[in-house]
Amino acid sequence: MNQEIRELEPKQLWNKFADLNAVPRPSKKEERVIAFMKKFGEDLGLETVIDTVGNVIIKKPATSGMEDRKVVVLQSHLDMVHQKNANTDFDFDTQGIEMYVDGDWVRAKGTTLGADNGLGVATIMAVLESKTIQHPAIEALFTIDEETGMTGAIGLKGGLLNGDILLNLDTEEDDEIGVGCAGGIDITATRSYKQLATPHGAIGYTIEIKGLNGGHSGMDIIKGLGNANVFMNRLLYKGDKKCGLQIASVKGGSLRNAIPRESFAVIAIDSNSQDVFENEINSEITKIKAEYASLEADLDIILTETASPEKVMDTDAQKMVIKAIYAALNGVHRMSPEIDGLVETSNNIAKIIIADGKVTVMCLTRSSVDSNKDDLANKLTSCFELGGFEVELSGSYPGWTPNMNSSIVKLTAELYKKINGEEANVAACHAGLECGILGTHYPEMEMVSFGPTIKGAHSPDERASISSAKKYWHFFLEVLKETPKK
């Protein structure tokens, strides 16, 4: 299946991507891909180092005639988001990604593709391996754990790199030159509750929400897509208020940086309220589907009568939990007043688990303004604390402040226009790139980000454009050739 990927042009890029995607590499489980990359560098006879946190650095001298150019750091992250459809049988810990061609797109069978950031990694691998590509001295930096904490970038020490310019290959629109990004902070709210025996004569139901688009909680948050956790809490609120619904368990979402596509709940109601409950919930389902008809065509919400659960949440805790989640902001909080169309601050209610006497709510708050990131984190903390939760803030990382006077920004913008006959979209984004963190370790290093067009990142609908990859590859090679002199 992956053989047809290897026949795509440019073959250097797609063959390295196929090699990489044969290696399991979920975030925080990068041991195999680190070993793979170490062997790759050593087999080429290049200086290869693994730092104290697991980042891999491979250095390659300049090609003939390029020795007088500034040293370039090529940077991408090794890990990938692991998301799959509910009906897909796949183990990210042991299996390589199964890819196929669909018109102009490369896709995966029911899982994330790993083009984010695998195409960037493959690009760098192709240059390291090539004997014909012209380039200055290169320091290839492959970071770990970008998707779930950026701990690789955070743990990178100063002094390991000597580069003057950093090219981050993690932007997902081929006409965009990234010059800034949002920072982020993880919010984890937890509380306990009493488990009570389900009242005699109660009826059990399951509520399933699936078929949502999901997507990147930074880049896609502006689209106003459905959030399975928000929808589920809305249904639970209605059932609690109208029929005295009692929660046995909830499981929604998976990763902080992915908009949740699915949520599943087990609940109980008094048998005397069955007709009212079904009417109220089905009415609310109809309203949700109507509100999101143009955005979530495949949304499916299924209410099924089932055996009554043995235990449920105590009533007082349930009301506080439902109200706290309902009050917590999800989506765009503030648009940038300075950059048209840019989300400045947002929150993703990413994961909710209610089971065995404990509630856990996980959020990712992003902002390109650190003070507003902290302010929204304080708002969410207050909201959850009022609901009886304990709140932990962790994994904070800075944004990347644009420097429009940077020589590499000017060079890439000029080259893009020369090659493509149109202006590039030189912009900041609401995703969390590693440039902001890397800039704290190497403050004198100039940075820019670009990449091929990738759609649906962080979801099983992730796909990479074949024609865009050709365009991006040509642009990338020209940037290397035109690297400024020292």
Whether cis (ω within 30° of 0) applies to the bond prior to 117 is: yes
The 3-class SS string of 33-99 reads HHHHHHHHHHHCCCEEEECCCCCEEEEECCCCCCCCECCEEEEEECCECCCECCCCCCCCCCCCCCE
The first and second tokens of residue 27, run together, are 């975030």
What is the Cα–Cα distance from 147 to 420, expressed in whole angstroms? 32
Which one, of 358, 335, 379, lies nearest residue 247 by Cα? 358
- Please name every residue paired with 463 in a beta bridge, in sequence order, or none if there are none: 107, 455
Instruction: Using the structure block, give the residue that is written with the tokens 């805790």.
Output: 317
Check 30, 116, 145, 146 and give the catalytic one. Answer: 146
| CA 35 from centroid of its chain's CA atoms | 24
| 3-class secondary structure, 352 | strand
End-to-end CA separation in angstroms for the chain: 45
Check 30, 79, 170, 446 and give the catalytic one. Answer: 79
Contact at 8 Å (CB) between 23 and 2? no
| CA 151 from centroid of its chain's CA atoms | 15
Which one, of 456, 450, 460, lies nearest residue 429 by Cα? 450
Instruction: Return the amino acid letter for 132.
Output: T
What is the Cα–Cα distance from 433 to 170, expressed in whole angstroms? 7
| 3-class secondary structure, 388 | coil
| 3-class secondary structure, 157 | coil
Is 79 part of the annotated catalytic residue set? yes
DSSP state of 158: T
Is 374 part of the annotated catalytic residue set? no
The first and second tokens of residue 385, run together, are 């604390």
The first and second tokens of residue 197, run together, are 């025996």
* Active site positions, annotated: 79, 146
